[in-house]
Amino acid sequence: MNAVTIKDVANAAGVSVATASRVLSGHPATSPDSRAKVESAAKELGFMPNAQARSLRSTKTDSIALLISDVRNPYFSDLAHAVEQHARAAGLMTFIGNANEDAAQQDDFLATMLSRRVDGLVIVPQGLNEESNQPSEMMNRVLSSGIPTIFVDRALPGVQVPAITANSAQALDEAVATLHSLNHQKIAFIGGPKHASTALERYSAFETALANNGLHADEALHFVGDFQPASGALAAQWLLDNPAKPSAVIIADAPMAIGALRVWRELGVRVGADLSVITFDEVDAMLIHDPPIATIGHDLSQMGKMAVQALREVMAGQKPEPEELISKFTLRTSVAVAKATQVMEGKVRP
Amino acid sequence: MNAVTIKDVANAAGVSVATASRVLSGHPATSPDSRAKVESAAKELGFMPNAQARSLRSTKTDSIALLISDVRNPYFSDLAHAVEQHARAAGLMTFIGNANEDAAQQDDFLATMLSRRVDGLVIVPQGLNEESNQPSEMMNRVLSSGIPTIFVDRALPGVQVPAITANSAQALDEAVATLHSLNHQKIAFIGGPKHASTALERYSAFETALANNGLHADEALHFVGDFQPASGALAAQWLLDNPAKPSAVIIADAPMAIGALRVWRELGVRVGADLSVITFDEVDAMLIHDPPIATIGHDLSQMGKMAVQALREVMAGQKPEPEELISKFTLRTSVAVAKATQVMEGKVRP
DNA sequence: TTGTATGCGTTATCAT
DNA sequence: ATGATAACGCATACAA
């Protein structure tokens, strides 16, 4: 019952361990005869090579680690799925780790991955330390370890690691232009935490878009959330209470959008009439809302593909350029984003 | 730059490798003196133990594998999150694998996990082989390998492995009773694939619930989907075209529900008025629909906890009993499930 | 083409 | 308490 080793196979096949090893790892120097014997013996005994021993010897594990911020966020589970599929196609096993938007859990995962000697790392970095404004000690260790690493979705300011990120400038331009053309003057932004580079990029692209459309940014219309549903719910209330009375809002991710939409439904705010909403992340849930919510999204499958590709280049000794994926604005219907007329007249407020 | 080993630490600390190892792995027989020297040397050099080598020697990896059906299904990502958190608390690293509702990918993952000699397995089994009606060869290998294994969410008929499953009998009774009390006579069921034990359990509990409420089951009102959004969309159309003109429907998982709700919205079917809908899986997205969708859900966090607990019992040599988690019906509002009066009068049909 | 012997990094055994 | 050494399972340099 106990783990059958290559030695058992060799014995059963009547050859030496070396020959067995050569056959089993596809080494050319093997005779058809011993190949047959070893293969049948291995199959007979149900031999499974011990990956530990193999990679201890060969210093290759044929595995990579993927660190994401939140498994339960569809954005990241889509990304994880994409990375996994492409890595698998390249013969690499993917270990998926969950940082839970938490630097400590990030470091924990990185440590075990370092211990397991994965061949490469794809990381959605959690951001710099709040106080020191530096990467965490463990992150530094990773960076100086020489293990091929690339960032995806987010980047770390000042850290020279190739990153696959998204550029939402154009999409936000279109989104803001659309809202502006419908008379919206006060557009709120429910953003993400400042440690996430995506949150910064999205907000600053939003500011630029405002300027491009002759509108001006107003910090009072900026809610800093944490990418989670609960903060979206808070933001929903914040928006209703906002003295500036915004008539439209752009939300930086789907979980917050879902949290907010729930609250607005509960309070009877008619999204698409009383309030125009555009959200980041193209998730199916946005399509069951009536009217469907306009979105700014990325091709996560593409992002995953680019990430794996870039990682493989690093593993092969090349130095890939950072790449930006262009975000796409999808105005699903002219109803989702409504004309701002008598928007938010006191009636829907508490 | 290249991987610092325990030998380097021992040298730097001026002790033998044996002593260094004892200190680093918390062996009691160490003097405070050498403990101090080794620890500071290790820290100084940034020593990360090689997990491969360690477990090659100790035959323990302090890791478990979790195989789920679909990372992108919130049900499973919630489960994954829960398992991971509880395993982490027990000092176990979790490898998350994605079967993609596909037996081949399941086997693939199981093979690599077997190779990596994980200490235990938590599996959402993909079902028996269609033709042979037997577990796959790889699954049999897992089962005869002696590696502690438990099933979660689904079980495999005839396979003696402790399983943590859900029992939805009571919830479905309540759900059907609620619909019945609102005059619904024709209740459709959009179910899952027959290879999933959950699909069978849910449908048969539904049949029982019908009987308990004086209604009779009708195979013509049963749509066999595959738990994915696309099949939900197909089912939505199927329901509208169904000659029996069902006025209510119960959907076996959230992805299918989202696929269906989208189609109904596009076609102008007013869910909660024209059609009453209850779905499995308590996901946030159901709360943004107006009216919110009634759900039958499980405490996934609890399920994950029970799974890890059961697995640890097996690892400790005990034999845990299979457990059933009781599903919960949540009628979110009396509007979500509407009275069947002139439901589905021709108007909403194509 | 095959076998023998060595080493990967760590822990366990056995002395001391 | 410590050190020397064997052993874990496998891949490879070298010899034959």
pLDDT value at B130 more than 90: no
- Reference B67, options B336, B307, B264, B267; nearest CA is B307
| A91: chain B residues, CB-CB within 8 Å | none
Whether A52 has its CB under 8 Å from any CB of chain B: the answer is yes
pLDDT score at B331: 83
The integer distance in angstroms from the CA atom of B207 to the C1' atom of D11 is 59
Whether B273 has its CB under 8 Å from any CB of chain A: the answer is no
Measured CA to CA, the distance from residue A130 to residue A128 in angstroms comes to: 6
Q: Is there a contact between B51 and A81 if contact means CB atoms under 8 Å apart?
A: no
Single-letter residue type at A197: S
Residues 15-44 of A with CB under 7 A from strand C: 15-19, 22, 29-31, 33-34
- A-facing residues of B in 93-132 (CB < 8 A) are 93, 95-96, 98, 108, 111-112, 114-117
For B190, which DSSP code? E
Contacts of B24 (CB under 8 A, 6+ apart): B6, B9, B38, B42, B47, B49
Length of chain B: 350
Q: Is there a contact between B114 and A48 if contact means CB atoms under 8 Å apart?
A: yes
Question: Residue B262: which of A51, A61, A288 has the nearest Cβ?
Answer: A288
The set of strand C positions with any atom below 7 Å of a protein CB reads 1-5, 7-13
Whether A265 has its CB under 8 Å from any CB of chain B: the answer is yes
pLDDT value at A214 more than 50: yes
Average confidence (pLDDT) over B310-330: 94
Q: Is there a contact between A49 and B115 if contact means CB atoms under 8 Å apart?
A: yes
pLDDT in tens, A121-132: 999 999 998 889
Contacts of B219 (CB under 8 A, 6+ apart): none
- Reference A153, options A332, A349, A317, A310; nearest CA is A310
Whether B142 has its CB under 8 Å from any CB of chain A: the answer is no
Measured CA to CA, the distance from residue B239 to residue B186 in angstroms comes to: 11
The integer distance in angstroms from the CA atom of B41 to the C1' atom of C5 is 34
The alpha helices in B213-339, defined as continuous H runs, are: 229-241, 254-267, 300-315
Q: Is there a contact between A51 and B116 if contact means CB atoms under 8 Å apart?
A: yes
- Reference A87, options A304, A282, A302; nearest CA is A304
pLDDT value at B319 more than 50: yes
pLDDT score at A328: 93
pLDDT score at B340: 59
pLDDT score at A102: 83
Higher pLDDT, B136 or A342: B136
For B130, which DSSP code? T
| A292: chain B residues, CB-CB within 8 Å | 262, 265
Task: Identify the weakest region by mean pLDDT among A102-111, B197-206, B328-337.
Answer: B328-337
pLDDT value at A112 more than 90: yes
- Residue B63 in 3-state DSSP? strand
Determine if the pTM surpasses 0.85. yes
| B144: chain A residues, CB-CB within 8 Å | 1, 46
Percent of chain A predicted with pLDDT > 70: 94
pLDDT value at A341 more than 90: no
Mean pLDDT of chain A: 92
pLDDT score at B334: 45
Average confidence (pLDDT) over A314-320: 94
- Grade residue B78 by pLDDT with cuts at 50, 70 and 90: very high
Question: Residue A50: which of B3, B81, B117 has the nearest Cβ?
Answer: B117
Question: Residue A52: which of B55, B72, B74 has the nearest Cβ?
Answer: B55
| B81: chain A residues, CB-CB within 8 Å | 71-72, 98
The integer distance in angstroms from the CA atom of A1 to the C1' atom of D1 is 38
Q: Is there a contact between B71 and A72 if contact means CB atoms under 8 Å apart?
A: no
Measured CA to CA, the distance from residue A347 to residue B225 in angstroms comes to: 44
Residue nearest to nucleotide C6 (CA to C1'): A57
pLDDT score at A333: 58
Average confidence (pLDDT) over B179-183: 90
- Grade residue B341 by pLDDT with cuts at 50, 70 and 90: low
Average confidence (pLDDT) over A318-333: 89
- Packing angle of the helix pair A300-315, A74-89 (nearest 10 deg): 50
Measured CA to CA, the distance from residue B228 to residue B282 in angstroms comes to: 16
pLDDT score at A221: 98
Q: Is there a contact between A52 and B48 if contact means CB atoms under 8 Å apart?
A: no
- The answer to whether the C-beta of A58 is closer than 7 A to strand C is no
**Is the CA virtual torsion A237, A239, A245, A249 positive or negative?**
negative
pLDDT in tens, A220-243: 999 999 999 999 999 999 999 999
- The answer to whether the C-beta of B298 is closer than 7 A to strand D is no
| B292: chain A residues, CB-CB within 8 Å | 262, 265
- Packing angle of the helix pair B32-45, B17-24 (nearest 10 deg): 90
pLDDT score at B336: 54
Give the Å distances, CA to CA, from B227 to B67, B130, B231: 17, 18, 7
Measured CA to CA, the distance from residue A226 to residue A69 in angstroms comes to: 12
Q: Which of B69, B137, B288 to mutate to test the interface with A (most CBs of A within 10 A)?
A: B288
Give the Å distances, CA to CA, from A115 to A58, B51, B86, B89: 16, 5, 21, 19
- Grade residue B201 by pLDDT with cuts at 50, 70 and 90: very high
pLDDT value at A349 more than 70: no
pLDDT value at B278 more than 80: yes
Higher pLDDT, B104 or B212: B212
pLDDT score at A342: 41
Whether B91 has its CB under 8 Å from any CB of chain A: the answer is no
- Grade residue A40 by pLDDT with cuts at 50, 70 and 90: very high
pLDDT value at A335 more than 80: no
**The tokens of A94 are what?**
């993917």
- Residue A210 in 3-state DSSP? helix
Whether A29 has its CB under 8 Å from any CB of chain B: the answer is no
Mean pLDDT of chain B: 92
Nearest-neighbour CA in chain B from A92: distance (Å): 11
Q: Shortest CA–C1' contact from A32: which nucleotide?
A: C1
pLDDT score at B342: 42
- Grade residue B348 by pLDDT with cuts at 50, 70 and 90: very low
The answer to whether the CB of B245 falls within 8 A of the CB of B261 is: no
The integer distance in angstroms from the CA atom of A128 to the C1' atom of C8 is 36
Question: Residue A72: which of B77, B141, B292 has the nearest Cβ?
Answer: B77
- Residue B47 in 3-state DSSP? coil
Single-letter residue type at A19: T
Percent of chain B predicted with pLDDT > 70: 94
Q: What are the DSSP E strand ranges found in chain A? A: 63-68, 93-98, 120-123, 149-153, 163-167, 187-191, 222-224, 248-251, 276-280, 294-297, 323-326, 328-330
- Grade residue A331 by pLDDT with cuts at 50, 70 and 90: confident
| B279: chain A residues, CB-CB within 8 Å | none
**The tokens of B302 are what?**
């609890």
pLDDT value at A13 more than 90: yes
- Grade residue A73 by pLDDT with cuts at 50, 70 and 90: very high
- Grade residue B339 by pLDDT with cuts at 50, 70 and 90: low
- Grade residue B349 by pLDDT with cuts at 50, 70 and 90: very low
Total beta-carbon pairs less than 8 A apart between chain A and chain B: 136
Whether A146 has its CB under 8 Å from any CB of chain B: the answer is yes
The integer distance in angstroms from the CA atom of A19 to the C1' atom of D14 is 15
Measured CA to CA, the distance from residue B144 to residue A206 in angstroms comes to: 58
Average confidence (pLDDT) over B129-145: 92
